[in-house]
């Protein structure tokens, strides 16, 4: 008998049992949990990939199944949904939610993947994984554990090579960057994050397998595999959008990228030092820091917004990234919706000043961003939150068989368009490698 047979007969109970099990191989359990998630049309898997980051609390978490759910085009019903019941909520904020936050903005390009502008769900099952334990909360946790123990994880299938096309070719990209720099020279903006799309049509792929391959090539601390029926996000993000714990809010924008060369330690270290000393990258970074400080000052107590770290350089599999950390103490009555109104979309994916660059993004980009440049994460029963920035991600619609990824960079007066193109390609290396079928795990 399948240990999960009849498990859904207990879903309407007001409380969910919880059990904790000792584990010996965290990566093996992750694979089994992902395989188990195939039972559900909606789930959210968040993975830290064992990065020793200062602010992380869990190695990974899986939320699966729906007790209740909110899909919306704006923030109007979100806070009441949060306060209706103090449970775990998982979900996303799509970039184009900006249109309801900032009056007068629009998104004219078609949306190909199918995620709502805003979506949150309370899960039936919550699995939290540390290095030594797996906590299972939901109906019949012992049966879930038994099913996981018995589950066989077969080798990950490498997909057939996918013919990836670019919405923009290099020469057109360079012309658009030059136009954006004209806006900068006129004083319309100081910095703009410009993105462009790569895509393929009529694609059949296994998103769970693709996620595992991407994780093997490019494990990152804010990775996610997120499913809402036919819409999938396969995410290897290195960036945190916001974290709230108690009355403290933290944002950690990324601006500044340098290539890793793991096979040449001397050159690798030289590239790290070049990024650390780069006036261009520090200029981009400090502009975003100022923007984030301004955003947080709207919802934080006066004098509490501080820069905890400026120009920190951190190593990831393909790149070094320049990351700064900004925190503040929230005003006592601040709600989650207030936080999103003040801070979303995140400055690292827009530029400054935010409203004007969002208009320019719509004018010059050729694709709708959708969930890309948005955020995925959770709200805990106590009101703590943690959300990533959706970058370095594959988006897939299983019904239309459309697969897509977008890359971008921060454009300033000093940017070299050809170098910005190369930076975008660098950020796409891991994704292209997976979709081209060139990796084996």
In the set 59, 137, 239, 423, the catalytic residue is 239
From CA 176, how far away is CA 161, in angstroms rounded? 30
According to DSSP H, which parts of 257-306 are helical?
265-277, 279-297
From CA 47, how far away is CA 50, in angstroms rounded? 8
Structure tokens at 187: 């004083």
The answer to whether 67 is a known catalytic residue is: no
Closest of 269, 380, 273, 376 to residue 322, by C-alpha: 273
Q: Are 225 and 45 in contact (CB under 8 A)?
A: yes
Q: Are 65 and 38 in contact (CB under 8 A)?
A: no
Structure tokens at 145: 């554990």
The phi, psi pair for 408, rounded to 5°, reads: -160, 180
DSSP-assigned beta bridge partners for residue 319: 259
Closest of 123, 391, 372, 107 to residue 231, by C-alpha: 372
- For residue 70, the tally of other CB atoms under 10 A from its CB is 18
Coil vs helix vs strand at 122: strand
The answer to whether 341 is a known catalytic residue is: no
In the set 30, 32, 255, 282, the catalytic residue is 255
List residues with catalytic annotation.
239, 255
């Amino acid at each position: 008998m399948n240990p999960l047979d009849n498990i859904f007969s207990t879903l309407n109970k007001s409380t969910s049992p919880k059990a904790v099990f000792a584990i010996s191989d965290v990566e093996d359990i992750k694979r089994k949990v992902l395989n188990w998630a195939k039972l559900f049309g909606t789930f959210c898997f968040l993975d830290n990939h064992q990065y020793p980051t200062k602010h992380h609390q869990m190695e990974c978490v899986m939320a699966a199944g729906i007790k209740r759910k909110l899909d919306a085009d704006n923030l109007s019903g979100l806070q009441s949904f949060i306060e209706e019941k103090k449970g775990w909520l998982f979900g996303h904020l799509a970039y184009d939610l900006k249109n309801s936050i900032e009056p007068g903005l629009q998104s004219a390009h078609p949306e190909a993947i199918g995620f709502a502008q805003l979506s949150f769900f309370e899960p039936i099952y919550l699995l939290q994984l540390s290095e030594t334990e797996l906590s299972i909360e939901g109906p019949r946790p012992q049966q879930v554990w038994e099913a996981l123990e018995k589950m066989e994880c077969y080798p990950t299938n490498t997909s057939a090579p996918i013919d990836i096309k670019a919405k923009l070719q290099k020469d057109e990209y360079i012309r658009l960057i030059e136009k954006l720099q004209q806006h900068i020279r006129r004083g319309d903006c100081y910095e703009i994050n410009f993105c462009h799309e790569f895509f393929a049509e009529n694609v059949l792929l296994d998103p769970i397998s693709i996620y595992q391959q991407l994780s093997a090539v490019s494990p990152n601390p804010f990775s996610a595999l997120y499913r809402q029926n036919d819409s999938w996000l396969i995410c290897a993000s290195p960036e945190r959008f916001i974290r709230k714990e108690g009355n403290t809010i933290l944002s950690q924008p990324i601006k500044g990228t340098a290539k890793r060369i793991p096979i040449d330690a001397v050159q690798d270290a030289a590239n790290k030092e070049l990024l650390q000393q780069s006036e261009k990258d520090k200029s981009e970074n400090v502009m975003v820091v100022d923007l984030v400080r301004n955003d947080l000052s709207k919802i934080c107590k006066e004098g509490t917004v501080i820069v905890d770290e400026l120009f920190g350089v951190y190593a990831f599999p393909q790149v070094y990234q320049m990351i700064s950390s900004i925190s503040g103490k929230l005003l006592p009555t601040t709600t989650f919706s207030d936080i999103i109104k003040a801070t979303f979309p995140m400055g690292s994916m827009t530029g400054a000043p935010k409203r004007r660059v969002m208009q320019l993004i719509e004018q010059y980009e050729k694709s709708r961003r959708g969930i890309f440049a948005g955020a995925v994460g959770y709200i805990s029963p106590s009101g703590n939150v943690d959300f990533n920035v959706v970058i370095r991600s594959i988006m897939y619609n299983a019904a239309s068989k459309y697969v897509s990824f977008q890359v971008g960079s921060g454009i300033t007066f000093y940017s070299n368009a050809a170098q910005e193109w190369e930076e975008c390609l660098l950020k796409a290396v891991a994704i292209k490698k997976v979709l081209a079928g060139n990796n084996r795990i």
